[in-house]
Amino acid sequence: MYHSREKETKEAFDRGAASYPYTVSDLRNPRFLHRCTKRIRIALGTSTENKDGKILDVGCGTGYFTLQLSKLYGEAVGIDLSKKMIKIAEISLKYERAREKVEFIVADGEYMPVRSNTFDTVLCLDFLHHVSNVPSVVKEMERVTTLGGKIVAIEPNYLNPLYAILCLLSKQESLKKFFVTSPRELSRLFKEVNMKNVTSKEVDYYPQLLLKLRRFPDKLYRSVNYFEELLRRQPAFSFLCSHFVITGRKRSDRIGLILTSPKIPNDCNG
């Protein structure tokens, strides 16, 4: 049974699926493709292939990011609560060469129909600020990750002034959501489920929605990217990033297993 906020979010994304700004076809745009590739490199810490690995994209939407991830991993799975988003993803990938390595599932990120310790990497992009029970989703992401595997969350930064404007224009966004998924709060949640090596890092400094503008001349594009790289080299300006990434590792040691294992009721003990 969905929480009221999940139900509202699902209905909103179902209604807006046909006009959702990002799809697999956008990857034909060299600028958009470069942006996605750079995000993956920063978020995962590598751009090398892991053909024996499995990755899960939680809240995958139309599947454009899942497709890019499938080029690095042997198997990629995307999960989303919106049936219409998943339908678009499946249609978009129908004629893609990677379709045999990509699977899409309609499911709630809080209750994923996936066995524990299945994926080497579990990632979500622009997803957590849409859910009502963020701690539960983070815990579920940790559950389906293999021992020693990586959990990655890429989220908007509410301190970026462009997102303040976006919140005024979009009914699906609000500053209240961004506060719940701030870098500090997500780092705390990652540590709360006993992940190790939890780190936070800025990803980019302007929303990729700008790349969808019809009139975005090359000179302006190069200038924007130039200033983005300048900001990236100055830690004092990291608070202005448009997106940040939180990463952590699922513990494979014995202590971690004990701390993350579900409690067994007393009447079940022999």
Domain layout of the chain by residue ranges: 4-260
40-52 per-position pLDDT tens digit = 999 998 766 788 8
Looking at residue 199, what is its pLDDT? 95
Question: What separation, in Å, do the N-terminal and C-terminal C-alpha atoms of the chain show?
Answer: 34
Query: What homologous superfamily is domain 4-260 in, according to CATH?
Result: Vaccinia Virus protein VP39 (3.40.50.150)
Segment 222-235, tens digit of pLDDT: 998 999 999 989 98
Residues 113, 195: Cα–Cα separation, whole Å: 22
Residue-wise pLDDT tens digits, 19-42: 787 888 888 888 999 999 999 999
Higher per-residue confidence, 196 vs 209? 196
Contact (CB, 8 A) for 92 and 62: yes
CA–CA dist 175, 161 (Å, integer): 11
Q: What is the side-by-side order of every strand in the sheet holding 50-58?
A: 102-106, 73-80, 50-58, 119-125, 145-156, 243-249, 196-204
Distance CA 215, CA 221 (A): 10
> What CA–CA distance (Å, rounded) separates 87 from 223?
37
**Residue 14 phi/psi, 5° resolution?**
-65, -45
Tally of residues, the chain: 270
Global pTM reads 0.85
Q: Output the pLDDT for position 11.
A: 66
Q: What is the mean pLDDT of the chain?
A: 84
C-alpha span between 163 and 166 (Å, rounded): 5
- In the predicted model, is pLDDT for residue 266 greater than 50? no
Start-end of H helices in the chain: 4-16, 30-44, 64-70, 83-92, 134-144, 161-169, 175-180, 183-192, 218-232, 254-260
